Structure 1
Amino acid sequence: MSDLASRLATGAFRLLSLLPLRTLQAVGAAAGRLMHARSAKFRREFDRNLAGAVPQADAALIRAAAAHSGRTMLELPWLWLRPRAEVLRAVVQVSGWECVERLHASGRGVVLLTPHMGAFEIAARLIGSRIPITVLYRAPRQAWLAPVMERGREGAGVSLAAADGSGVRRLLRTLKDGGLVGILPDQVPANGEGVWADFFGRPAYTMTLAARLTSIAAGTVMVFAERLPAGRGFHLHFIEPEVPVEGDTAQRVDAINRNVEALVRRWPAQYIWGYKRYKRPPGVERPAAVE
């Protein structure tokens, strides 16, 4: 992308951040439904992923899920660029925070797992306003977006750790020092950083980092920022795992996937079904059972 195009894209992003959250979510909902209706490639991936997880999915759920996918994208300028106090006021309800406080009080680190659901970008901001947190960070493909993303994610109790060796070491140090770390457990890792594991009945290349981090922490907490209707804000849920995250790395990977599935089944419309969760990273061989 040229310098001019980058400046224009950055300017458009900043202009969008000036709109009310409710407006951005409404436009995003329309855009998500339009994308699902007009793009056969997107619809094929989206519908297959959703149907595999929720076999009884009807037209209403598909429409709602497509709308939420659009909201996820259009609300980003507001979440990243509006004043932090204003963004935090959009979190109108918090449930389960006491489980984070209890684990943190033990003096050992805590791993918070936030899947690609709802307004996952707001979770670290709320957590960092209460207890400092270090979050795994992967730079976007679009170079112009990187400084905007970093500004929106870092600061006020939130530190970023790059998705490389130095970043992993930083996460480990944070846990050993009794701190909080945040990670998206359903992020598809690079070659050599994951294993094939079942996710809603299909093999998905799944990171081992989250599993390794949980092995040295006091405990694990699932995090979901529920997007409330009609632009009313967000309800942040902190949920203790239904399936204990324990055992060796493979067992922990499986347990994490089961816990992500449990969240998705409770709020299926708010998972990002268009995300290519089942893609094969370059250099990774598919399991023998997969054509």
Structure 2
Amino acid sequence: MTGFAAALLYALAWSVARLPWPVLRRLADGVARLSTALDGREARVAHRNLELVRPDLDHAARAALAREILRTTSRQAFETLRLWTRPAARNLADIVEVRGEVIFDAALREPRGLIVAAPHMGNWELLNQWLAAKTPLAILYRPPESAIGEGFLRRVRANAGGHVEQVRAEAAGVRSLLKRLQKGGVVGILPDQQPKAGDGEFAPFFGKQALTMTLLGRLAARSGARVLFAWCERVPGSSPPRFILHVEAAPEGIGDADPQRAVAALNAGVEAIARRDFAQYQWTYKRYTLRPAGSGEENPYLDLY
């Protein structure tokens, strides 16, 4: 039954994605305007995050930036439906430039493993497809609460082309990633999701302490793998959407045996990327829910539930 429901969900996604991009863009922009008008969940979270990380802006400037974030986020969702339901080769044609490919190719030639840290910037699903076209890889993911949702995600990501192993973020999955890296393989990780309490360390992110995964640093330290950052940046004004893919070396210390130093380097790298185009980063996510012990701080999103 779960498989059938996931197939129906895929069919719906395929049907919507077949609409011309100008229609999808108008739909996306309408969803964003509606969320703003109704003060929906994503609108409230984006506003709260801007209050936390952009105190330099006045109320009007934050409101304008929040509207841009919601519009970008909504368009990204409709873009992703297209990416999930079209052949990977066609999707890769939407990448008009790759910056840093020589760095990536050089890392693949090294005998040690490679960790690709992919922040929630631009369109990370297109990045997955580019990586899969370049090399076999495993991607770590946090499964949705719904079995149908997980079935759907597994189906659409299997459309990435190449060989992609989807690994659940649990103990057995982490062990398999370590073995892959020790054999010189490639692993992709979204590094900027808040981990569970006890699975991370606090480090500054846009000037505010954020619980940050120690997993990436531990994998790098134990395997000796190289770490690169990669993301797909949307070209402003492109219609249909076009992208520039970036690959850069990670900051020094990201694979340090000291977890505090590792998470500080990780957050510094993600923040530098997000600052390049603030609205293309995922500010509709509750990044600062958990607060440092003894800080006296409360969950800043409590009044949004």
Q: Which residue pairs with 1:235 in the alignment?
A: 244
2:279 partner SS: helix
Q: Which residue pairs with 2:177 in the alignment?
A: 171
Q: Which residue pairs with 1:161 in the alignment?
A: 167
Q: What is the Cα deviation at residue 41 of structure 1?
A: 4.4
After superposition, what is the alpha-carbon deviation per residue over 1:61-85, rounded to whole angstroms, capped at 9, x for unaligned?
A: 3322111111122222211121122
Q: How many residues align?
A: 287
Structure 1 stretches of 4+ moved >4 Å: 1-10
Q: Give the counterpart letter for 2:35 in structure 1.
A: M
Structure 2: state its 5+ residue gaps: 299-305
Does the 8 Å contact 2:18/2:82 carry over to 1?
Answer: yes
Q: What is the Cα deviation at residue 246 of structure 1?
A: 4.3
Q: What is the Cα deviation at residue 40 of structure 1?
A: 5.3
1:32 partner SS: helix
Matched, 1:224 2:226: no
2:82 partner SS: helix
2:134 partner SS: coil
Q: Which residue pairs with 1:47 in the alignment?
A: 47
Structure 1: state its 5+ residue gaps: none
Which segment is superposed worse, 170-179 or 28-37? Answer: 28-37
Q: Structure 1's 221 and 80: CA in aligned 2 closer, same or farther, altered over 3 A?
A: same
Does the 8 Å contact 2:53/2:208 carry over to 1?
Answer: no
Q: Give the counterpart letter for 2:68 in structure 1.
A: A
Identity %: 35
Q: What is the Cα deviation at residue 4 of structure 1?
A: 9.7
Does the 8 Å contact 1:100/1:110 carry over to 2?
Answer: no
Pairs within 5 Å for 1:126-275? 126-154=130-158, 155-215=161-221, 216-228=223-235, 229=237, 230-247=239-256, 248-275=258-285
Does the 8 Å contact 1:124/1:133 carry over to 2?
Answer: no
Q: Structure 1's 220 and 2: CA in aligned 2 closer, same or farther, altered over 3 A?
A: closer
Which segment is superposed worse, 255-264 or 161-170? Answer: 161-170
After superposition, the CA RMSD in angstroms is 2.5
Alpha-carbon separation, structure 1, partners of 2:55 and 2:115: 31
TM-score by length of 2: 0.84
Q: Structure 1's 21 and 170: CA in aligned 2 closer, same or farther, altered over 3 A?
A: farther
Q: Give the counterpart letter for 1:234 in structure 2.
A: F
Alpha-carbon separation, structure 2, partners of 1:8 and 1:103: 40
Q: What is the Cα deviation at residue 96 of structure 1?
A: 0.6
Q: Give the counterpart letter for 1:44 in structure 2.
A: R
Alpha-carbon separation, structure 1, partners of 2:156 and 2:7: 17
Q: Structure 1's 78 and 41: CA in aligned 2 closer, same or farther, altered over 3 A?
A: closer
TM-score by length of 1: 0.88
Which segment is superposed worse, 8-17 or 254-263? Answer: 8-17
After superposition, what is the alpha-carbon deviation per residue over 1:211-262, rounded to whole angstroms, capped at 9, x for unaligned?
A: 1122234421111111223223221111223554243121101100011010
Q: Give the counterpart letter for 2:188 in structure 1.
A: G
Q: Structure 1's 272 and 33: CA in aligned 2 closer, same or farther, altered over 3 A?
A: farther
Which segment is superposed worse, 146-155 or 67-76? Answer: 146-155
Q: Give the counterpart letter for 1:269 in structure 2.
A: A
Alpha-carbon separation, structure 1, partners of 2:164 and 2:154: 11
After superposition, what is the alpha-carbon deviation per residue over 1:96-137, rounded to whole angstroms, capped at 9, x for unaligned?
A: 111111122221011111111111111111011011121102
Matched, 1:101 2:108: no
Q: What is the Cα deviation at residue 50 of structure 1?
A: 2.7
